[in-house]
Amino acid sequence: MFEYLSFIENKNNLIDIIGFNGPIILFFTSVTNLWKQKYIYGYLLFYIINTFINNILKNTIKQSRPTNITNRITEKYPDVHKYGMPSYHAQSVFFSLTFLYLVKKSVFILLFECFIAFITLYQRWINHHHTKEQLLVGSFIGIINAYLGYITTHEYLSTSII
């Protein structure tokens, strides 16, 4: 326990922890904020679709990660995750950020999620887990998937009798 606390005292370690866990932080932020709304179903469905799209793209593009990875948090890259294009972390955080903003339109939530998203991008880049291009493409795909997921969910909820 005390070893963990001394680990997070270093600001770089805190950035590593937040950045590495950014997708999880924003996933739970989104689920918490959408919990009693019908948009939760669209968010969860399209989150899964977003993950599948990332795996398909990684397996299709097969672009390597940078070779000089810094591992302060031990990460293993099995199967398709040995590839870096597009960044799953970037795609995931920007999916959650965009979908939740489109539903809630809350500037406060947007600022919090942007803070976590940019720490995630910074951590992935500074530790050489991804190139800038891999992060940019992942972010863009996450935004597009969230927008399409939101529009689809909104249309379904608008025309549904439920």
The per-residue pLDDT for range 29-87, each reduced to its tens digit, is: 999 999 988 899 999 999 999 999 999 998 888 888 777 766 665 555 556 567 778 88
Is 14's pLDDT higher than 90?
Answer: no
Q: What is the pTM of this model?
A: 0.81
Closest CA to 50 of 144, 153, 123, 152: 144
The per-residue pLDDT for range 124-153, each reduced to its tens digit, is: 888 777 888 989 999 999 999 999 999 998
